[in-house]
Amino acid sequence: MKIKNLKITALNLILLFIFIGCEKDYDSVIENYIPDYQVKLVSPSDSIRYNPVDSLVTVRIEFNSASTIQSVYCDVYASDDSKLNSSPLPLLDNGKTANGDDVANDGSFANKIPLSESYPNGIYNIKYFVTDKSNSTNQVALGTFKFNNGQANIAPIISNDIVDPDTAVVTDTTIILTSINVFDENGLSDIDKVYFVVYRPNGTTSGAQNVLFDDGLSSHGDLTAGDGIYSLIIEIYSTNAKGTYRLEFQAKDRGGKLSNIINHSLIIQ
């Protein structure tokens, strides 16, 4: 049995900075060039819990020297890869507490961004960019932090499993549609992944998780993006062992909670 899946092109990052404390020092940069400055720290880099009294979070990057820096900005991405800021968030070294900067012209650039209780839990990424005085713009760092929206995390629920057809006489390549409905009280943005594991007629399995998609792409067999119906097209070949396969469906949210399990039989003759 072969799983036909969409190839997804991911942003290739040359270097990933992972921070354990609130602020961590480091002396490397992302771009493959030699600037006249070095990044000393970025923040936030620890865990942040939504605060209904003050939802603003200070984003900061500090350099050893800012003499050749013209401007600094960042983009903030939630755990579902959605960008929180509609336009680049400028980071300022102006000494104004309104944007989270303490001392002007000290090489530390900051600004504030609100985090909402409606945002999904999980790991957030901050991409930092610098435009130098030659008008060259480069990404210089990637910061990460974990966000907790403060809401009670409730496990997702799956239902209405479809394997069509679920009985097939396979003499040539046969296309089969699989799909499952997913509901999460914390919202679909809280869904980390939806998948099934295949168990062969002899009961063995590789344990591979075949991920279903709610992206509206026909290549996945999905009709409408974001409707909570996750789909995947699989291909069955005449060389596949004949017998009854078991497809075990499950979903996992960004808090790590697992849904109920639904098993669906697929008979290959």
pLDDT in tens, 72-93: 999 999 998 999 999 999 999 9
Could you tell me how far CA 254 lies from the centroid of its own chain?
9
Residues 6 or more apart from 221 whose CB is under 8 A from it?
A: 177, 178, 179, 231, 232, 233
The confidence score (pLDDT) of residue 161 equals 97
Q: Check whether 32 has a pLDDT greater than 80.
A: no
Q: Check whether 135 has a pLDDT greater than 50.
A: yes
Domain ranges for the chain: 24-148, 153-268
Q: Check whether 101 has a pLDDT greater than 90.
A: yes
pLDDT in tens, 165-207: 999 999 999 999 999 999 999 889 899 999 999 999 999 999 9
* CATH of range 24-148; options 3.40.50.1100, 2.60.40.1220, 3.40.630.30, 2.60.40.1260: 2.60.40.1220
Q: Check whether 126 has a pLDDT greater than 90.
A: yes
As to burial, measured by CB atoms within 10 angstroms (0-12 exposed, 13-18 middle, 19+ buried), residue 74 is: buried
Q: How many CA atoms lie within 13 A of 189 on its CB side?
A: 15
* Residue type for position 255: G
Give the chain's mean pLDDT: 89
Q: Check whether 149 has a pLDDT greater than 60.
A: yes
Q: Please answer whether residues 187 and 256 qualify as being in contact, where contact means their C-beta atoms are separated by less than 8 angstroms.
A: no
pLDDT band at 34 (very low <50, low <70, confident <90, very high): low
The confidence score (pLDDT) of residue 72 equals 97
pLDDT band at 253 (very low <50, low <70, confident <90, very high): very high
First to last CA, the chain: 13
Q: Check whether 28 has a pLDDT greater than 80.
A: no
Q: Please answer whether residues 228 and 183 qualify as being in contact, where contact means their C-beta atoms are separated by less than 8 angstroms.
A: yes
User: Would you state the structure tokens that stand for residue 68, as one six-digit string?
Assistant: 């050749």
For residues 158-194, b (16+ Cβ closer than 10 Å) or e, as one string?
beebbbeebebebeeebebebbbbbebebebbbbbeb
Phi and psi angles of residue 84, each rounded to the nearest 5 degrees, phi first: -75, -35
- Structurally, at CATH architecture level, domain 153-268 sits in Sandwich (2.60)
Would the CATH topology of 24-148 be identical to that of 153-268? yes
Q: d(Cα 22, Cα 58) in Å, to the nearest integer?
A: 12
> Which of 31 and 267 is assigned the larger pLDDT?
267
pLDDT in tens, 47-77: 999 999 999 999 999 999 999 999 999 999 9
pLDDT in tens, 205-217: 999 999 999 999 9
> Which of 125 and 33 is assigned the larger pLDDT?
125
